[in-house]
Amino acid sequence: MKHFRSVDEAGPDAIRRLLDLADHMAEVNRRPNPKVPALRGKTVCNVFFEDSTRTRLSFETAAKRLSADIMNFAVSSSSVNKGESLRDTIETIAAMGVDAFVIRHKSSGVPWQVSDWTRASVINAGDGWHAHPTQALLDCYTIRTALNRTNSFDGLKIAIVGDIKHSRVARSDISAFTMLGADVTLVAPRTLLPPETTVPVETNLDDIIEDLDVIYLLRMQQERMTESLVPSLREYTTRFGLTPERARRLPEHALIMHPGPMNRGVEMAVDPSELPGSVITQQVTNGIAVRMAVLFDLLGSGSNLEENE
């Protein structure tokens, strides 16, 4: 694989290979010194044109644990503010010797454009509403470990709840979960659904909650109120939020997931730290292992994971 830009482009074999590789990386991360020399001499550059806490830090940590050098391009203090184009910016950074770009941008498709301008590998860390493939990988890996699964999600019932229409996380998760065999249902007000969906839609969360193995909540973005796509946050919580009553109706083994950042009191109307099924912090931890897997798969040919520092 040269790039990791979307789940669909990578395909099921690569997704399974990366999940298996993430298991090795998780083992590295449990060592007292969680670092291997696998990517020594390689340079990874984070280019984030949109805000991020966990994704950017997670890629940075992943690169460091594989002994790669990491550059962080800070858009807010760069020549982008002087009007430099995306292409010139990428070509300038590439000229310094970069093996992989990790890119986040508000426009869909930017990772594909960037790969036309550089010989480096390109990893999509979120493009517009389109895709966020490493989030999907970490979500699959979290489900697989928490429910003691292999790479087959056959029979698993997963509901993705919230603003599906504007969510790159939802789009990538739908692809990855169904690729592994899960039954995915989307739960949202009609105004927050895309015009076409490949999986069933449900508008009443209470009709399905008792049958779920995984409930995946999306961030309810404040902007959606000003656009009048939902009447009020309170009403949203009443119909689609995870309230204490709904949490009690979930099966005992069911997982509660969220990509972060969460809006407490809106989609998450309970304290997730009090829910035994919440794997939200595991999602963050697993993000490092899956991003190590992606970086190693793209850049690590010829090196091995076993030798120590």
Residues of the shown chain interacting with ligand NCD in the complex, contacts defined by CB under 6 A = 54-55, 126, 132, 135, 168-169, 219, 259-260
| Residue 293 to residue 296: CA distance in whole angstroms | 5
DSSP 8-state assignment for residue 130: T
Q: Which residue, 151 or 221, has its beta carbon nearer to ligand NCD?
A: 221
DSSP 12-71: HHHHHHHHHHHHHHHHHHTSSS----TTTT-EEEEEESS--SHHHHHHHHHHHHTT-EEE
We find the least distance from the C-beta atom of residue 258 to ligand NCD, in angstroms, to be: 9
Q: Which residue, 144 or 168, has its beta carbon nearer to ligand NCD?
A: 168
Q: Which residue, 16 or 54, has its beta carbon nearer to ligand NCD?
A: 54
Identity (one letter) of the amino acid at 236? Answer: Y
DSSP 72-118: EEEGGGSGGGGT--HHHHHHHHHTTT-SEEEEEESSTTHHHHHHHH-
Dihedral pair phi/psi, residue 302, rounded to 5°: 90, -20
We find the least distance from the C-beta atom of residue 167 to ligand NCD, in angstroms, to be: 7
Q: Which residue, 121 or 263, has its beta carbon nearer to ligand NCD?
A: 263
Q: Which residue is nearest to ligand NCD (CB)?
A: 219
Q: Which residue, 38 or 62, has its beta carbon nearer to ligand NCD?
A: 62
We find the least distance from the C-beta atom of residue 165 to ligand NCD, in angstroms, to be: 13
We find the least distance from the C-beta atom of residue 162 to ligand NCD, in angstroms, to be: 9
We find the least distance from the C-beta atom of residue 220 to ligand NCD, in angstroms, to be: 9
Q: Which residue, 144 or 219, has its beta carbon nearer to ligand NCD?
A: 219
Give CA 97 to chain center in angstroms.
27
Element (H, E) at 138: helix 133-146
Determine the longest span between alpha carbons in the chain, in angstroms: 57
We find the least distance from the C-beta atom of residue 283 to ligand NCD, in angstroms, to be: 8
| Token reading at 195 | 């015009």
DSSP 202-234: ES-GGGTGGG-SEEEE----THHHHTTSSS-HH
We find the least distance from the C-beta atom of residue 169 to ligand NCD, in angstroms, to be: 5
Q: Which residue, 144 or 171, has its beta carbon nearer to ligand NCD?
A: 171
